[in-house]
Amino acid sequence: MIGLIAAAALLAGFDRAALLDAASAEFERALQHNDATALERVLGSDWMIIDSDGHPIGRERFLGALRSGALSHSEMHSSEAKVRIYGDAAIQIVRAEGEGTYRGQRFEFTERSTDVWIWTNGHWVCALTQLTRIAETAQ
């Protein structure tokens, strides 16, 4: 009986891990395509992003910038993913690279993105994103 309970717990954890991978992939695809509607599905209602300069940006301001075209990503991809699930919370750290424009000014980025995910109502939502610029290595 204990073996069945342990197996069920392991399977539930695996399902949550797979669902987190799917939610994270949806987040990245939505950013790549500047799709604010898709982002709304994976961002918590009080989600916030802390940009690589330390400025907090609220969910509605961020989504508004995407909707208006003030913020646009033309390229984006992530690698080096590390994920830890702690019950109903998860932390995901990735290396993110890409480019885009903000208010007509081109930008490029290479940064670590740390996302805090919360399991709620049977799915994962991102509660916080923290960006940290990766400095170029000295030659």
Q: pLDDT, tens digit, for every residue of 39-86?
A: 999 999 999 999 999 999 999 999 999 999 999 999 988 999 999 999
Domains of the chain with CATH codes = 2-133 (3.10.450.50)
**Any idea what DSSP says for residue 121?**
T
Measure the CA angle with vertex 68, ends 66 and 71; round to 5°.
40
The rounded distance, in Å, linking the Cα atoms of 7 and 12 is 9
132: burial class by Cβ within 10 Å (0-12, 13-18, 19+)?
middle
pTM score of the predicted model: 0.85
Contact 39, 33 (CB under 8 A): no
Q: pLDDT, tens digit, for every residue of 80-130?
A: 999 999 999 999 999 999 999 999 999 999 999 999 999 999 999 999 999
